[in-house]
Structure 1
Amino acid sequence: MANSNSILLFNKPFGILCQFSGNMKNLSHYINEKDFYPAGRLDKDSEGLLLLTNNGKLQHQISHPKFDKEKTYLVQVEGKVTEEAIWQLRKGVRLKDGLTKPAKVKITEHPDWLWRRVPPIRMRKNIPTSWIELKITEGKNRQVRRMTAAVGFPTLRLIRTRIGDWKLGDIALGKYERF
């Protein structure tokens, strides 16, 4: 029997919906725990850390924007990212639903620990890709993808590695650990 504050840290693969029902591949294909629900979302095209809990109050504290829970993403973008784009992301980006809060952003390298994505991203022969680490406290719909596109660098791959103090660590793709 799970205690009232159990959390599952799940490494969500690409193409999986953050729900337990429906005709598309979803969490029920990976998690066989009763009364656990996602604390926040990670869209079907994104990978990495998803938190699930069996505690409604904790779920609210993790997912509600008013708690400013910082989320960290590794983002592969199309093109050689510029300092100007990084500066724009750091100051906030105007999207159709308003200005985003400033993000913490840095250019990084392809992480050597990262698994291969299935299917692989679309690569263009004459267009390089870049990697950035981006930290935000908001959670607007597809926010990171919209932010990078707004500064001229569309997201090709998006991996969440951290939510607050919870880290993806070395959890294997498609597996979860109880915290």
Structure 2
Amino acid sequence: MPDPLYHHLFEPTIKLIEERMDVLDVSGPVDFRRLAVPHPAGGHRFATGLCLPPDHTALEALGLTVPTPAEAAAVQAHLRELPARAVRGEVVWFGFDVLCETATAVPDYLSLAERFGTLVLDGVPPLATASTDGRQRFANLVDVACDRDIRLVLIGSDPLAGLCADPTLSRDLDRTSSRLAMLQRAV
């Protein structure tokens, strides 16, 4: 485990896994999420607009327009209401600060994924400037988008910029990087 703080708590589980299961190493030189694959017939798979500058041309290409203040609405997530910048049918629009820098959790993202086919997240900073919890919440949000096959549109900076310079920041974000590449290639 990359974070040794809780490793000792998981050691008994590791021992049971090793005793009762065949452990196979499936790592290899190819990250298959980064390879091009055909889209399934009749639908999108993991579509996103990634790291868009917040300009109107790029948004219009995705069929989006910047929300007006009058479109702000409270959206019920798992056990809380979250302030959305806009709700437009199957599309919900949030700021990074609301979904990643406040006390949200995976059940909130799952609830949103059940109700909306497209989630727009604007104000995305380089994750090197986000809080530790914000980085983890962002990774969780990307996981939910991939697993639930919802369209995720990210507007702002490249979230992975600057992470390579500090390995303590990039820890546990390899999967997120890989999934963002998978989302991007599906556009």
TM-score, normalised by the number of residues in structure 1: 0.25
Greater helix fraction, Structure 1 or Structure 2? 2
Largest Rg, 1 or 2? 2
Higher relative contact order (CA 8 A, sep 6+): 1
Give the TM-score normalised by structure 2: 0.24
